[in-house]
């Protein structure tokens, strides 16, 4: 299933990815944000489960912001996991 998540409080505005019935996340793409860093994050976690991604990135902040693009990815995959 393809899932798109509108981010909040980050430079990136949207995250899209595929998630399967085993909650494995692939083909992650960010719209907006720090292009190189977000490409690296997407490659690093491709094929991991929603739980693994959440454990890695939940709670990470960016500067003085209460969230980050990686934290938003953690939230997005857990939201998507509820629907598979």
Residue 25 CB coordination number (10 Å): 24
- Where do the domains of the chain lie? 2-81
Which is it for the CA torsion 63, 67, 71, 77, positive or negative?
negative
Q: For the chain, 84 residues long, give each residue's pLDDT as a single digit of tens.
A: 999 999 999 999 999 999 999 999 999 999 999 999 999 999 999 999 999 999 999 999 999 999 999 999 999 999 999 999
Residue 6: which H helix or E strand, with range? strand 2-6
Torsions phi, psi for 59 (to 5 deg): 90, -5
Q: How far apart are CA 1 and CA 19, in angstroms?
A: 5
């Amino acid at each position: 299933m393809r899932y798109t998540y509108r981010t909040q409080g980050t430079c990136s505005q949207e995250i899209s990815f595929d998630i399967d019935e085993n909650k494995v996340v692939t083909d992650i793409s960010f719209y907006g944000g720090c292009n190189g860093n977000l490409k690296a994050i997407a490659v690093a976690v491709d094929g991991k489960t929603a739980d693994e991604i959440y454990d890695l990135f939940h709670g990470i902040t960016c500067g003085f912001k209460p969230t980050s693009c990686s934290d938003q990815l953690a939230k997005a995959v857990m939201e998507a996991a509820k629907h598979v």
